[in-house]
Structure 1
Amino acid sequence: MISRIKWLSFSIELFLAIPMLGNIAGDTIPYYLCLIAVWHACVLYISRSEREPVLGSLFGIIASFLNFFPVVRIVFHAITALILYIEIKNGPGTD
């Protein structure tokens, strides 16, 4: 179950890392990234309870609050997506 949740987080972060789409979402819906931060906090809680890596969720929370710096926002969302992808591929059941 946690891998599906992380795949959704990865998809959201990858969407936000695309310059045009991420800028539109970040600029037109100011509270959208706060909701994403709450989503990452929930994923962080679930990951910790299942003893899974939490680095991707931590970076997701940070990336959500760096919304006010356009270039930094895009880079951080891309880094978060990469970290989540690595966590998913190295997680249990992907042997």
Structure 2
Amino acid sequence: METSRILKWVTGGIELFLGIPILGGLIIVGTGYLPLQIMLVVHIIALIASIYDKQKKSGNILGIITSVVAYIPIVGMFMHILTGIWLLVEAFGYQREKEI
């Protein structure tokens, strides 16, 4: 299993978790926005892995943008949900390509 695919599954799941209304916001604000900084670093690592594995990069780029924009409360929630879905679709699509 390639590293970039694993990172897409993990980051997609975390993004969806952070996008849960109220709960995600409480976690982010309650920890002093630290999850956004951590996710920025993780998305950069995942982007590097995607480049190395020659896989789609758009989900990780969107994740980097989300980590920067998510300081805006409602916008952040929608961005986390969008990014999470995008990353999981990329990870699932990559898995399907390998099976065919």
Partner of 2:85: 82
Shift of 1:86: 1.5
- Please give the per-residue CA displacement for 1:31-85, whole angstroms capped at 9, x wherever unaligned: 2211110000000000011110011111111111123211100111111011112
* Matched position secondary structure for 2:24: helix
Partner of 1:41: 44
TM-score, normalization: structure 2?
0.86
State the distance in 1 between where 2:73 and 2:11 align. Answer: 20
CA 52–27 in structure 1, closer or farther in 2 if over 3 Å, else same: same
Stretches of 4+ aligned residues off by more than 2 angstroms? 92-95
- Please give the per-residue CA displacement for 1:7-49, whole angstroms capped at 9, x wherever unaligned: 1011101101111221012211122211110000000000011
Q: Which amino acid is the alignment partner of residue 79 of structure 2? A: F
Whether contact under 8 Å (2:18, 2:25) holds in the other structure is yes
TM-score, normalization: structure 1?
0.90
Partner of 2:34: 31
Greater fraction helix: 2
Unmatched runs of 5 consecutive residues or more in structure 1: none
* Matched position secondary structure for 2:98: coil
Partner of 2:61: 58
Whether contact under 8 Å (1:15, 1:22) holds in the other structure is yes
Partner of 1:69: 72
| Aligned-residue identity in percent | 28
State the distance in 1 between where 2:42 and 2:17 align. Answer: 15
State the distance in 1 between where 2:57 and 2:27 align. Answer: 25
Unmatched runs of 5 consecutive residues or more in structure 2: none
Supply the RMSD in Å over aligned alpha carbons: 1.3
